[in-house]
Amino acid sequence: MENSQQRDERLWRIAKARAGFKSHLITYLVVNAGLWALWFITDGDRAGTPWPIWPALGWGIGLAFHYFSAYHSDPHGDALREYEKLQNERQQRGL
Supply the pLDDT for residue 16. 93
Supply the pLDDT for residue 7. 66
The answer, as to whether pTM is greater than 0.85, is no
Supply the pLDDT for residue 11. 82
CA pair distance 78, 72, nearest whole angstrom: 11
Supply the pLDDT for residue 75. 63
- From first CA to last CA, the distance across the chain in angstroms is 22
Q: Give yes or no for a contact between 32 and 54, defined as CB atoms under 8 angstroms apart.
A: no
pLDDT values of the chain reduced to their tens digit, one per residue, 95 residues: 456 566 678 788 889 999 999 999 999 999 999 999 999 999 878 788 999 999 999 999 999 999 999 988 766 666 777 777 888 888 888 75
Supply the pLDDT for residue 2. 54
Supply the pLDDT for residue 1. 46
Length of the chain: 95
What residue spans define the domains of the chain?
2-93
